[in-house]
Structure 1
């Protein structure tokens, strides 16, 4: 299995929008799938750095990051490519260009994502609510003595 991580190119946008739409519609099963639209990707990643994962030359996932805050806004893997290590590769690629600590928000109902981040040594440091429901604030890369590890 060959996984390559690279910076997104303009010609990747259509496939990334599909991945974003499909992943949210299948992963956020408790929400109305019609709330997610194909043009959401362009709007929600504007001004962010986007890196993609290719598996055997096919776009399989992406990560979008607000560099100023080291905040991971989106990490999505296409439904047919999940559980192959792609998300882990995308997270690890951050170490090459973005200083820690990193933070992100994970919807509380998204048990698969919560388990994934826990397995990859992310810690819960806060919580909140948004239009999509309760979320947890997760952090990676700060000394454990400074973290709230509830």
Structure 2
């Protein structure tokens, strides 16, 4: 079982909230490497721009080049990242399964 506070230690965390202050999603980033560790949007809010807004709130977005690992079985997440301008730059295997490394190249 994962421990969020342990897994995100030292990371910057941005939270998306509704007008009623409900948590809609979050993104955690290891800033020194511009590495997106976790991005999560509650299922009922997916497709409504929450994930895109979380990415846009990252420091230096869109000029800074961010990267992440996306499990290959997470087809919905992979499609989301590709639509946001990420491209496949590598692949590997982790205890969670096979993944692609995706990188969003700088936009000048």
When the two structures are superposed, what TM-score results if normalisation uses the length of structure 1? Answer: 0.65
Residue pairs, 1:1-150, within 5 angstroms: 36-37=1-2, 40-56=3-19, 57-96=21-60, 100-142=64-106
Aligned residues: 106
Across the aligned residues of Structure 1 and Structure 2, the Cα RMSD in angstroms comes to 1.8
Q: Flag structure 2 segments of 5+ consecutive residues without an equivalent.
A: none
The alpha-carbon distance between structure 1 residues 49 and 99, as it changes in their structure 2 partners (threshold 3 A), is farther
Structure with higher helix content:
1
> Hey, what's the Cα distance between the residues in 2 that align with 1:130 and 1:53?
28
**Quick one: distance in 2 between partners of 1:119 and 1:97?**
15
Structure 1 spans left out of the alignment, 5+ residues: 1-35, 144-150
Residue matched to 1:146: none
- What's the TM-score, normalizing by structure 2? 0.89
* TM-aligned CA deviation for residue 120 of structure 1: 0.8
C-alpha distance in structure 1 between counterparts of 2:106 and 2:62, whole Å: 14
SS state of the match for residue 76, structure 1? strand
Largest Rg, 1 or 2:
1
Query: Residue 53 of structure 1 aligns to a residue in which SS?
Result: strand
- What SS class does the counterpart of residue 94 from structure 1 fall into? coil
Structure 1 counterpart SS, 2:57: helix
